[in-house]
Amino acid sequence: MKVFLNNNLVPEEDASVSVYDHGFLYGDGVYETMRAYEGVVFKLDEHVSRLNQSALFIQLTIPEKQFMRDAVYQTLSANKLSDAYIRVTVSRGKGPIGLDPALCKHPTFIIIAKEFKGYPEARYQEGVKAILAKTRKNLSEALNPQIKSLNFLNNILATIEAKEQGADEAIMLNAHGFIAEGTVSNIFFVSDDTLCTPSLDAGILNGITRETVISIAQRADITVREGMFPPGDLLNAQEVFYTNTSSEILPISRIDHTTYGIGNMTRQLRKLYKKEVADYIRKNKK
């Protein structure tokens, strides 16, 4: 496999960064994950724009958007990948020890792509297990949730909680006790035929899959409510699912001791999401 490192494609065994890279030393950097279907990167422009926004928030200079778009496709081509998981990472770069960003003269730019074979269909038919984590999301006033940064320690701690309880995902609350998001996902639930999801005010990342699902639901005349929801609303829901780039729409069958069916709205939205992807591929196929 080959990795895009700064300006070149290199064999993965030669793709290394300095021990003085501030992404390694301090988690100083941003990233995006994407998914390619049949050689087409779904919502590539949206991902690149969000990466650019994250970088602006931390005053990190990153490559131009067109360069990044081209580099993503070069990486897919070099690895002969059609259906792929893609991660684009930009760190502050190499510099002397110290927090001052000015110590780093050049950012480190990395693209890793690997074959994506999909998840077992049983996960979608039976759902996955989740917990309500004790670990809370960072305060928005401490770290802007719209920065998709390399700082992931609180999500990792919540993941440890989930793993210890035999669950696949941990749902995190914000500092005020309202539902925020999963460790790697956005959360949706169905209550009284309304599709509910935490609003950006809850301190969540505005997921690109999340935005897509909201748009699909609205076009299907499904009532969508974004808001601040206490855990009880989630535990009393009829259906629950989470969204992210790789899993798309994945039903949740259990949260702690509460069980849920895989309902009609979840199935409908999953079908509509697949159509959305297929339409996007058809329009953007080269």
pLDDT of residue 54: 97
Check whether residue 57 and residue 149 sit in a common domain: no
Whether the per-residue pLDDT at 286 is higher than 80: the answer is no
pLDDT of residue 192: 94
pLDDT of residue 64: 96
Q: Which residue has the tokens 């490192």?
A: 5
Whether the per-residue pLDDT at 285 is higher than 90: the answer is no
pLDDT of residue 212: 98
Identify which of 226, 220, 222, 223 has the alpha carbon closest to the alpha carbon of residue 276.
Answer: 220
Check whether residue 23 and residue 80 sit in a common domain: yes
Q: What is the pLDDT of residues 69-116, one digit of tens each?
A: 999 999 999 999 999 999 999 999 999 999 999 999 999 999 999 999
The CATH number of the domain holding residue 266 is 3.20.10.10
Whether the per-residue pLDDT at 118 is higher than 90: the answer is no
Tell me whether residue 2 is one of the annotated catalytic residues. no
Whether the per-residue pLDDT at 194 is higher than 80: the answer is yes
What lies within 8 Å, CB to CB, of 56 at 6+ separation is: none
Check whether residue 139 and residue 96 sit in a common domain: no
Domain boundary pick from 70, 93, 115:
115
Check whether residue 51 and residue 168 sit in a common domain: no
Domain boundary pick from 96, 115, 134:
115
Domain boundary pick from 99, 115, 131:
115
Rounded to two decimals, the pTM is: 0.95
Domain membership of residue 23 as a residue range: 2-115
Q: What is the pLDDT of residues 207-246, one digit of tens each?
A: 999 999 999 999 999 999 999 999 999 999 999 999 999 9
Q: Which of 2, 43, 137, 148 is catalytic?
A: 148
Check whether residue 106 and residue 125 sit in a common domain: no
Check whether residue 20 and residue 125 sit in a common domain: no
**What's the total number of domains in the chain?**
2
Check whether residue 105 and residue 145 sit in a common domain: no
